Amino acid sequence: MKILYVSSEAQPFAASGGLADVAGSLPKALAEEGQECIVVLPYYVNTIKESQKENIRYVDNFYVSVGWRAQYCGVFQTELNGVTYYFLDNEYYFKRDFGLYGYYDDGERFAFFSRAVMELVQKFNLRPDIINANDWQCALIPVYYNLYYRNQYNMQNIHTVFTIHNIQYQGRYGLEMMEEILGIPKYYTSVMEYDHDVNFMKAAIEVSEKVTTVSPTYAQEIMDPWFAHGLDRILKTKTYKTCGFLNGIDQDMYNPESDADIPAKFSAKNKSGKKTCKQKLLEEVGLGGGDDAPVIGLVSRLVEHKGFDLVKCAFDEMVGLGCKIVILGSGEAQYENFFHEMHYRYPDKVSFTCGYIPALAKKIYAGADMFLMPSKSEPCGLAQMISLRYGTVPIVRATGGLKDSIRDYGEPDDSGLGFTFQSYNALDMLGAVRRATELYYNDKRKWGALVTKGMKADFSWNRSAKLYIGLYKELCGQ
């Protein structure tokens, strides 16, 4: 099969979150399973590294309809890990200075990108069997295909899949965008409109042949108003075509035996280097060392749905358990200010680095003893899988992909991989942290066995890639 995988970001070229990890790893795994995979991305001129641009070559250009206008689109190409990458270039839309998203014209930018993808497929005669579009930024691709391309020469019999990575971000705009910006006629309003707005994600759910999410539990949760951010009404009518596949991680990228970003290498067979990583981490973040206090790591965007209101409620008690806490992240001011305050209150117990430093994140994964993810909602989550890879025991709330990937250590016969709690409650979270610290202090043999088991767990993309291939073959009648 030929699969066209379309994303607004992908490792190693441009990244702002977990979508980039998926779009960088899944196509590689599909290629390793013998599928022909093509990835299409915007050409973020200021984000892609100069060293990467040396291997990206200009191919061609064409013009794309954006409402009543025709906009230039350059096409660049490269190959990596058996995957062909196309980059669609328009400097007005994608040469921005401050991140990939968050601009006043994001709706227009990604409407251009989605229409340009379809023009690329047609003009380059790519003839994919499957187009898999990801999140709201690519949600207009199945819409444009159904509306303008389905019956054109060399465009028939393409099957469309839409993947929801985070349902909170839907691409909602005023109805006035329909014709002026999106170039979608009024008779298609019933597809595009939702709660008196244009909603990109709703439209993709409506017209795509299959809708996938990034974990089985999240596929169930988004049918519930608590998780669906208003889209539960449309999703409940589409349960017949909705499913969830748990994401994986690139186990070559996250490998403590070869990672150049950590101070000492280690493995499940020889974990001695992890002690060095812990000591160096504590020295780097100013928490000293020399004692055996458990270190809890948090690497996250500091936003409400990541569960930081629970952390605020129970923070003093967590420190009272004898833990040292290392936090890396940025986000809402209330959480940034809180962690700054906690650092000043407990200077020898708490470290807070505001921002995101990839190398420091790796050091936290490798040097911490426990990794806390108390999320209110978590479509999949990759950090809990990465932490296991580095011998750091996750403490998570059982929601979304956290529930699918981390079974509690006590259920049954100490066979789980971490510590979980069910209800969204600070005392329940604290209880899970307390259970983890008690095992850490009281039974080093069992703790060591738990760490080893986590490091050996298989969260590679191979399993997930097979599930996606099965879905694609079902659509193609194979």
What one-character-per-residue DSSP string does 53-115 give? Answer: HTT-EEEEEEEEEETTEEEEEEEEEEEETTEEEEEEE-HHHH--SS-SS--TTHHHHHHHHHH
Q: Is 154 helix (H, G, I), strand (E, B) or coil?
A: coil
The two beta strands, 159-164 and 130-134, are parallel
pLDDT (0 to 100) of residue 280: 95
Residue 373: closest CA among 455, 436, 286, 287: 436
Q: Is the pLDDT of residue 113 over 80?
A: yes
pLDDT (0 to 100) of residue 290: 67
pLDDT (0 to 100) of residue 410: 80
Provide mean pLDDT across the span 397-425.
91
Q: Is the pLDDT of residue 379 over 80?
A: yes
d(CA 18, CA 295): 24
Provide mean pLDDT across the span 263-284.
95
Provide mean pLDDT across the span 62-90.
96
Exposed (0-12), middle (13-18) or buried (19+): which is 428, by Cβ within 10 Å? middle
Q: pLDDT tens digits, residue range 237-263?
A: 999 999 999 999 988 889 999 999 999
Q: pLDDT tens digits, residue range 13-30?
A: 999 888 999 999 999 999
Q: Is the pLDDT of residue 415 over 90?
A: no
pLDDT (0 to 100) of residue 16: 87
CA atoms within 13 A on the CB side of 159: 19
For 248, the token pair is 């994986």
Q: Is 44 helix (H, G, I), strand (E, B) or coil?
A: coil
Residue 369: closest CA among 278, 453, 233, 234: 278
CA atoms within 13 A on the CB side of 221: 27
- DSSP letters of 402-430? HHHH--BTTSSTT--SBEEE-SS-HHHHH
The gap between the terminal CA atoms of the chain, to the nearest Å, is 10
Q: Is the pLDDT of residue 313 over 90?
A: yes
pLDDT (0 to 100) of residue 108: 97
Least confident of 35-44, 70-79, 123-132, 288-297: 288-297
For 283, the token pair is 């020295």
Q: Is the peptide bond before 225 cis (omega within 30 degrees of 0)?
A: no
Provide mean pLDDT across the span 389-397.
98
Q: At what angle do helices 426-442 and 308-320 cross, to 10 degrees?
A: 40
Q: Is the pLDDT of residue 314 over 90?
A: yes
Q: What is the CA radius of gyration of the chain?
A: 23
The three-state (H, E, C) secondary structure of 300-320, written as one string: CCECHHHCHHHHHHHHHHHHH
d(CA 237, CA 217): 18
Q: Kindly report the length of the chain.
A: 478
Q: pLDDT tens digits, residue range 165-222?
A: 999 999 999 999 999 999 999 999 999 999 999 999 999 999 999 999 999 999 999 9
Q: Is the pLDDT of residue 412 over 70?
A: no
Residue 364: closest CA among 291, 287, 296: 296
Provide mean pLDDT across the span 437-455.
95
CB 326 within 8 A of CB 368: yes
If phi over 0 gives left and psi between -120 and 50 gives alpha, with beta otherwise, what is residue 408?
A: beta
Work out the mean pLDDT of the chain and round it to a whole number: 95
pLDDT (0 to 100) of residue 17: 82
Q: Is the pLDDT of residue 405 over 70?
A: yes
pLDDT (0 to 100) of residue 117: 98
Q: CA separation (Å) from 337 to 224, 298, 446?
A: 33, 16, 37
Provide mean pLDDT across the span 453-467.
93
Band the pLDDT of 478: cuts 50, 70, 90: confident
For 106, the token pair is 């994001």
CB 294 within 8 A of CB 370: yes
Share of the chain above pLDDT 70, in %: 99
